[in-house]
Structure 1
């Protein structure tokens, strides 16, 4: 008896788990929202776009650095290794700087938005720096 009662409940749970993920995506107008959770969502999305652009520019610059290294004199320092080292240091700087920046709203619902906005801003600036470097190195 108990088994026959639990089976429909278990089946219902499985059906809920199989719901499409897209149905859970919020529909937010980032141009007009005044709701903090939506503003934070929009800031996160903007940061994600900036981060993808940075990663694309980073990969393009790595190709330039590797080509530079291939043409360099044997025994000279690696442009690619120096670039990777600089980028790793920059990521650590960005994350620490933005964590610090977020303290303006520490403990409040605006804190994550401040961090995402800071990360987006610094990421966009770094993307431009990497592009300039790649162009100077021969891209």
Structure 2
């Protein structure tokens, strides 16, 4: 199975994900999530990967196709896939004014945004809780 490495900023100022062959340790290809400084990646079902960045995206890890762009919440730096409910979770600021720290919830299979759960004053570890 190939390895994935975040190359934030090496794509003309935008982030990219290098797919590395584990035997040769050579970069096989580069996935470009777009106008995004990639900060976190979480692999879910069907080779779907959540890339949390300035504008989070769900993309196909095999070919780099964008499945969904999440516009209801900003990018974060903590993310998690929960196989129990098939959802991606990540920390970020919502789009309200003023922005509120929140937990973004996205369907990992379809890439559909489901909700933001406000977490004023919180951040980070909430995305990793197994009971979320």
> TM-score, with normalisation over the residues of structure 1?
0.22
Higher RCO, Cα 8 Å, sep 6+: 1
* Structure with greater proportional strand content: 2
What's the TM-score, normalizing by structure 2? Answer: 0.23
Structure label with greater radius of gyration: 1
Report which of the two has the higher share of helix: 1
